[in-house]
Amino acid sequence: MHLKFGPPRFWQDKKPNWQAKALLPLSWLVGAIIRLRAFRTTPVISPLPVLCCGNLSVGGTGKTILVRDLAQRLANRGEHPHILSRGYGGRLDGPLRVDTAIHTARDVGDEPFMLAQEFPVWIGADRSKTAQCAVDSGATCLVMDDGLQNPTLKQTFRLVTMDGGIGLGNGQTLPAGPLRESPTRGLSRVDAVILIGRDDTQVVTLLHLNCLTSPRN
C-alpha cells in the first residue's frame, strides 16, 4: 500500500491558525539556516547569461512550463540554451546530462526527463558544476529550472512564478506555511513576476504591497 501525503490544509488559510503559529519557531530556524548558507556561499559567475525561473513556495506553480517556453524562444533566436535542474524526484545525484535513451524519469526526475525530450538538461544540486558542464558542451545561455534559493551560481536575470489560485497561502515560511522564504526577501531579489492562471487570491495586490516595502539588492 502506498500512502500519498499532500500539503497541510492550514497552509492555505488566509491567516496563520494555531498550528502554523506553533510551528513558527521552526520556520525561524529554517530561515536562519538558509540565510547563513547564502551568506557563507560565494556564487560562481558563469561566462554565460543565467536565466533563473523560480518560485517562493513549494509545489508546482508552472515554472517548468515557463522554462520550456523560454528555452524554445531562445532556440528560435539561434541560441543554444541548456537547462539546469536539481533533478528532484530522481535517484541519481549528478552532475550529469539527462539522456532519454539511457535514463528514466525515476533516474532523473519527471520534469528534467520531460524537458530533455527537446533540450539539453543537466541535473545536480550544485548549479555551478552543472553550469560548467553546460558551458563545456557548447551552451550559449543557461536556464535554471528552480534555484531561486540556490546560492551556488550567480543569476543574471530572475523570474518568479506565482499560481493565482494558490497565491502565498497563509504567508508563512516552511514548515508553518508553504513559502520557501518571506515574500519581502524573495521579491527583493527578482526582476519580474509571472502570474499563472486567474488571480483568485489577489496575489498581485499582496505582491505589490511587498514590493513597496522591499528594497532591491
Choose the weakest-confidence range: 127-136, 176-185, 207-216. Answer: 207-216
The pLDDT assigned to 159 comes to 93
Query: pTM of the full predicted structure?
Result: 0.88
Q: pLDDT at residue 170 above 80?
A: yes
The pLDDT assigned to 2 comes to 45
Distance in angstroms (rounded) separating the CA atoms of residues 37 and 22: 25
pLDDT tens digits, 1-53: 444 567 889 998 888 999 999 999 999 998 898 889 888 999 999 999 999 99
Distance in angstroms (rounded) separating the CA atoms of residues 183 and 171: 8
Among 159, 144, 161, 131, residue whose Cα is nearest residue 85: 144
Distance in angstroms (rounded) separating the CA atoms of residues 46 and 49: 7
Which domains occur in the chain, in start order? 46-212 (3.40.50.300)
The pLDDT assigned to 210 comes to 61
Distance in angstroms (rounded) separating the CA atoms of residues 57 and 174: 9
What is the per-residue DSSP string for 94-131? Answer: SSEE--TTT--HHHH-HHHHHHTTTS-EEE-S-HHHHH
What is the per-residue DSSP string for 25-83? Answer: HHHHHHHHHHHHHHHH---B--SS-EEEEEESBSS--SHHHHHHHHHHHHHHTT--EEE
More confident residue, 124 or 7: 124
Choose the weakest-confidence range: 70-84, 121-135, 144-158, 193-207. Answer: 193-207
What percent of the chain is modeled with pLDDT above 70?
A: 91
Contact present, 183 and 162 (Cβ < 8 Å): no
The pLDDT assigned to 69 comes to 95
Residues 180-207, mean pLDDT to the nearest whole number? 83
Q: pLDDT at residue 123 above 70?
A: yes
- The DSSP output letter for 176 is T
Contact present, 115 and 22 (Cβ < 8 Å): no
What's the chain's average pLDDT? 89
The pLDDT assigned to 1 comes to 43
- Using alpha carbons only, give the angle 169, 61, 35 rounded to the nearest 5 degrees: 70
Q: pLDDT at residue 209 above 80?
A: no
Q: Confidence band (pLDDT; 50, 70, 90) for 217?
A: very low
Cell output for 145: 529550472
Residues 192-200, mean pLDDT to the nearest whole number? 85
Residue indicated by cell numbers 539561434: 78
Backbone angles phi, psi at 54, to 5 degrees: -130, -170
